[in-house]
Amino acid sequence: MKRILLLVTVLIIMGQSASAQYRNPIIPGYHPDPSICRVGDDFYIVNSSFQYFPGVPVYHSKDLLNWELIGNVLDRQSQLPLKGATSWLGIYAPTIRYHNGTYYMITTNVGNGGNFMVTAKDPRGPWSEPVWLEQQGIDPSLYFENGKCYMVSNPDNTIMLCQIDPKSGKQLTPGKALWQGTGGRYPEGPHLYKKDGYYYLLISEGGTEMAHSLTIARSKKIDGPYEANPHNPLLTHCSMAGQTNPIQGTGHGDFVQAGDGSWWIVFLAYRNYGGAYHHLGRETYLAPVEWKEGAWPVVNGGHPVDTLMNVKVPFATTQLQKRYVRTTFDKPLGPEWVYIQNPDSVCYERLRGKLRLTASLSSLTDNRHPTFVGRRQESADFTAETRLDFTQSLSGDEAGLTVYQINDGHADFCLVQGKNGMSLQLKMTMKSVSFRKKTLQIPNTICSLRVRSDGKMYYFDYSLEGEKYETFSKVDCALLSTEVVGGFTGVMLGMYASKNRDYTGNGRTYADFDYFDYTEQ
């Protein structure tokens, strides 16, 4: 009897220790279009990656709150051609699903091939070569039932359903129109689920800006007709209730059921800073779902989703926060590091614990496979720091740190070789406007560079001896926001090197970087 009472007491304590609060976003920074699946006790999320290589980051969690980046689905150039891609192109909205021992990821490569899927036995990889698909429209998704594989996507602004062969990708039935949504623009991001005898079709509408929303319809038959939820939208902050919320642009979601039977939804949204501007990109958020038998699902009790959620999750867990990451270059770069388009491998070397970037003729603005490697800015308050040696340079060459939103929206804190020696510069590119914000002649070809932010301003600091920093200049974060310079991504913090295009000789230019520190305040 005492053992039973002890066990009951332990279970009660464990239940009480489950987190009653958590913070959104659960995956901060540029992580849009989340798709989620659960396999046993494991949850996996994938996100869009647009012009960056490798593509489609994969996150793993045991508790829905703490997520570890375990790899990228598309990590070979044969899987991911990105010629000419910007953050308007490349990999859109992937979906991850699991069926009979196999993981499936289906997505669209806009500008380089269209819809395709890849498979793996382990989400950490390796993933297969692409299987290209006939039905187009962005944001494809898969649904498996009774030995059949169904695909939905949105050609011609209509959610279309077809059956495909999951091995060959061959389309087995003509596409059939299911739903056009409730009248919002861009009906997209479709996902199918079955519950209590109904097929539920979840989509996004309104575009991925302020009017973004989630809507849902259902049918007794997979091919319709579908009846719209009378209480649509299922989720939006473009409303009186959500208009003052710091989280905006809510949409593009995916349901998941936890092991205890509770339902949850992951979705994208962004956080405004300094007014109606967002520069971190669209991030991944989590909200509870009430889904009674035979009823329509209700997200977060019908209330707006907040950055601090007073919701008990079904796990005894503590939500951890990132603080400090140092990247040294004595081993291969981790999966958080990405390149713009397909990288030219000869431009990236690890030598004696340093990362050597050989300058390319393409600048960041030119966007022709520039020499760049970067990671996501995942907090509004952060510091990023590196030290570089740019001794091996010619007049007009440059290398340094970049705060990069898109090829025509970035701030470059760099060393520039000139006829009169080395200078430190802060250069801005904002759409069709490019200018030097500040220039300072320095006696060295070696310099430590630092960029930090409080969410409203970027501050650029330098140190010649590597210890005491001086503030060089600052830039309003809003100038690198999606609202000002455009794009579908978010700020990347990266190292780069570019060569003077007017130079006609054979001299080689490279910059050696000692380390890269990223600290969240």
Q: Residue 94, Cα to own-chain centre: how many angstroms?
A: 11
Q: Which two tokens stand for residue 13?
A: 């304590």
DSSP character for 166?
T
Q: Which two tokens stand for residue 312?
A: 């008990």
User: Where are the alpha helices (H) located in 332-375, listed in sequence order?
Assistant: none
Query: What's the 3-state SS for 284-340?
Result: EEEEEEECCCCCCCEEHHHCCCCCEECCCCCCCCCCCCCCEEEEECCCCCCCCCEEE
Residue 5, Cβ density class (10 Å: 0-12 exposed, 13-18 middle, ≥19 buried): exposed
Cis peptide before 297 (omega within 30 of 0): no
> Which one of 63, 188, 205, 512 is the catalytic residue?
188
Q: Which helix (H) or strand (E) holds 9?
A: helix 2-17
Q: Name, in order, each residue with C-beta under 8 angstroms of 433's C-beta and a sequence gap of 6 or more.
A: none
Backbone CA torsion sign across 231, 488, 248, 336: positive
Q: Residue 86, Cα to own-chain centre: how many angstroms?
A: 14
Rg over CA atoms, the chain: 24
Rounded CA-CA distance 43/56 in Å is: 16
Rounded CA-CA distance 213/195 in Å is: 22
Rounded CA-CA distance 248/212 in Å is: 8
Question: CA geometry: angle at 359 spanning 353 and 365, to 5°?
Answer: 125
Contact 477, 273 (CB under 8 A): yes
Rounded CA-CA distance 457/517 in Å is: 19
- Residue 412 designated active-site: no
| 3-state helix vs strand vs coil in the chain, percent to 5 | 5, 50, 45
Backbone φ/ψ region at 223: left (φ over 0), alpha (ψ -120 to 50), beta: alpha
Instruction: Specify which residues 457 forms β-bridges with.
Output: 476
- Residue 188 designated active-site: yes
- What values do phi and psi take at 483, rounded to 5? -65, -25
Strands 398-406 and 188-195: unpaired
If you count them, how many residues does the chain have? 521
For 157, the 3-state DSSP assignment is: helix
Contact 289, 298 (CB under 8 A): yes
Q: Name, in order, each residue with C-beta under 8 angstroms of 483's C-beta and a sequence gap of 6 or more.
A: 276, 277, 278
Backbone φ/ψ region at 137: left (φ over 0), alpha (ψ -120 to 50), beta: left
Catalytic residue positions, numbered: 33, 188
